[in-house]
Amino acid sequence: MSASLQGKRVLSGMRPTGQLHLGNYHGALKSWVDLQYQYECYFFVADWHALTTDYADTSRLPVNTHEMVIDWLAAGLNPGVATIFVQSQVIEHAELHLLLSMITPVSWLERVPTYKDQQQQLREKDLATYGFLGYPLLQSADILIYRPTYVPVGEDQVAHVEITREIARRFNHLCGQEPEFESKAERAIKSLGGRNATLYRQLRRQFQESGDAAALERAREMIRSHTHITVADRERLLGYLEGSSVAILPEPQVLLTKAPRVPGTDGRKMSKSYGNTIGLREDPDSVAQKLRTMQTDPARVRRTDPGDPDKCPVFDLHRIYSDEATQAWAANGCRTASIGCLDCKKPLIERVVAEVTAMRRRAQEFVENGELIRTILAEGSEKARDAARTTMDEVRRAMHLRTD
Ligand code: TRP
Ligand code: SF4
């Protein structure tokens, strides 16, 4: 059975920054492309998140969203496999954000490391807004509404998934209480059938008595893959593993994306704000030109000076793009000054140009026909909304709000 059929979900989002560069690709997008074939994936454009810092001029949102989604598809995201959508087209995120705001202490939000950092770094923007403070909570709503097992993110987002887990725990504790929970949970265990019921009890005991996290995870997997129980029973069983309330919003786990260092043309980290990027769909001649003039080990002034690959940003690209043999050839040639920097760059340029060319080829039909993108996003958003509504029905019921 493939993993996606085991019901494991993955969710992640990206702010619409317009056309992506190779740093974005190796930092996140590439891992999304791999994940879509292993899990049931939801990937979305976090356009409301863009508003939390760029509220003064929102005019580029549509273009930035459009261009970024073309890049996703160019990189190999497959809308037939993964659900690709736009946050603002699934307004349920906003409802969950509102409801979670009722139970979230302001101090939790003020404590998030990015809160003060970003305010300092982006002084010109005045981020003393309500929306900016609530940013991590909006992200929590984005995540929890899909009840994913994993949230693939980079290091900078780990704190946001952490607070998401705390909020889920608090919500389940406050709102997941149900009368006669224990007897209902016991009945649910019986409905698992003999062998699974025994396994459930055993794993639950292992977790509760010795905090065995692997046992907890195994039990969760068993419950999630069990197709013959009701949604309500599944939540009782998930909640009963850990405590005495229903897990309406299960706690997701971080799936840390191991991102290689992608240097820009000036040797610093590739970043839009440094103006040192190579676009995912950039014109091949321009890519080649940028690489030819890219910063190398500054100690290698003349062709006859030996260099140090460990101090050269071009070699960082070799680590990403070249096989072992080519890397060994480049490193050795550099240290012994037996090759020049242009020689060293040549195989790299070929690989990067080939990659960018393949991206451009895949993007072409979407560039020519923008309507395709709108259709993909409309369909993806429709699917996402179905999943979000299922959760919201339960959240509303748990909070004694109308469910019709
Ligand atoms: N905050 C994320 C970023 O800036 C984007 C994001 C919004 C996100 N909601 C999310 C990522 C939910 C993962 C899950 O990169
Ligand atoms: Fe960098 Fe290659 Fe030049 Fe060495 S030979 S400095 S690794 S570009």
- The DSSP 8-state label assigned to residue 38 in this structure reads T
pLDDT band at 333 (very low <50, low <70, confident <90, very high): very high
Residue 274 lies in a domain: no
Average pLDDT, the chain: 93
CA of 170 relative to ligand 2 center, distance in Å: 53
> In this structure, are 16 and 137 located in the same domain?
yes
Q: Is 267 left (phi over 0), alpha (psi -120 to 50) or beta?
A: left
Ligand (nearest to CA of 118): 1
Ligand 2 atom with the smallest distance to the CA of 344 is: 2
From the CB of 341, is ligand 2 less than 6 Å away? Answer: yes
Lowest mean pLDDT among 26-35, 46-55, 230-239: 230-239
Does the residue 208 lie in any domain?
yes
CA 340 to ligand 2: nearest atom? 5
Closest protein CA for atom 11 of ligand 1: 13
User: Do both 12 and 97 map to the same domain?
Assistant: yes
Mean pLDDT confidence for 355-373 = 97
The band of 1, judged by pLDDT with boundaries at 50, 70 and 90, is very low
CB 24 less than 6 A from any atom of ligand 2: no
Residues with CB under 6 A from ligand 1: 11-15, 46, 49, 139, 142-143, 151, 153, 157
CA 152 to ligand 1 centroid distance, Å = 10
What is the per-residue pLDDT for 7? 64
Greater confidence, 90 or 7?
90
Euclidean distance between CA atoms 31 and 36, whole angstroms: 9
Confidence of residue 4 (pLDDT cuts 50, 70, 90): very low
User: Which residues, at least 6 apart from 106, have a Cβ–Cβ distance to it below 8 Å?
Assistant: 133
Spacing, Cα 337 to ligand 1 middle (Å): 45
Rounded CA-CA distance 164/238 in Å is 18
DSSP E strands: which ranges in 218-281? 253-256
Same domain, 102 and 161: yes
CATH code for position 318: 1.10.240.10
For the ranges 78-82, 120-124, 226-230, the one whose mean pLDDT is highest? 78-82
Distance 257 CA to ligand 1 centre (A): 13
Question: Quick one: which ligand is closest to 337's CA?
Answer: 2
Residues 155 and 16 in one domain: yes
pLDDT digits (tens, 9 = 90+) for 188-228: 999 998 899 999 999 999 998 888 889 999 999 999 888 88
Q: For strand 40-45 and strand 253-256, is the pairing parallel, antiparallel, or unpaired?
A: unpaired
Residues 341 and 383 in one domain: no
Pair 31, 172 in one domain? yes
Tell whether 126 is covered by a domain. Answer: yes
Query: What is the 109 CA–ligand 1 centroid distance (Å)?
Result: 15
Centre of ligand 1 from the C-alpha of residue 207, in Å:
31
Provide the token pair at 333: 């040639």
Report the nearest-CA residue for atom 15 of ligand 1. 14
70 lines ligand 2 (CB under 6 A): no
On whether both 93 and 160 belong to a single domain, the answer is: yes
Does residue 376 share a domain with residue 329? no
Residue numbers of the domain that contains 187: 181-242
| pLDDT surpassing 60 at residue 397 | yes
DSSP reduced 3-state for 289: helix
Q: What is the pLDDT of residue 2?
A: 46
* Per-residue pLDDT at 213: 85
The CB of 291 under 6 Å from ligand 2? The reply is no
- Tell me, in angstroms, the distance from the centre of ligand 2 to residue 306's CA: 9
Q: Let me know whether 20 and 165 are in one domain.
A: yes
Give the pLDDT band (50/70/90) at residue 30. very high
User: Phi and psi of 13, rounded to 5°?
Assistant: -140, 165
Residue 372 reports pLDDT greater than 80: yes
Query: Which residue, among 90, 174, 177, has the nearest Cα to 138 in the 3D structure?
Result: 90
Q: How confident is the model at residue 5 (pLDDT cuts 50, 70, 90)?
A: very low
- Tell me, yes or no, whether 162 and 54 share the same domain: yes
Ligand 2 pocket, residue 300 CB under 6 Å: yes
Measuring CA to CA, which residue among 108, 104, 95, 93 is closest to residue 45? Answer: 93
Question: Count of domains in the chain?
Answer: 3
Q: Say yes or no: 37 and 148 in one domain.
A: yes
Exposure class string for 64-92: b at 16+ Cβ within 10 A, else e = bbbbbbbbbbbbebebeebbbbbbbbbeb
Tell me: the pLDDT tens digits for 303-322?
999 999 999 999 999 999 99
User: Per-residue confidence at 6, pLDDT binned at 50, 70, 90?
Assistant: low
Span 241-279, pLDDT tens digits: 988 788 899 999 999 988 899 999 999 999 998 999 999
* Residue 119 pLDDT exceeds 90: no
CA of 151 to the centre of ligand 1 (A): 9
Read off the pLDDT of each residue in 375-399 and give the average, rounded to a whole number. 96
Q: Which numbered atom of ligand 1 lies nearest the CA of 138?
A: 9
Do 56 and 30 have their domain in common?
yes
Ligand minimally distant from the alpha carbon of residue 87? 1
Burial of 60 (0-12, 13-18, 19+ CB in 10 A): middle
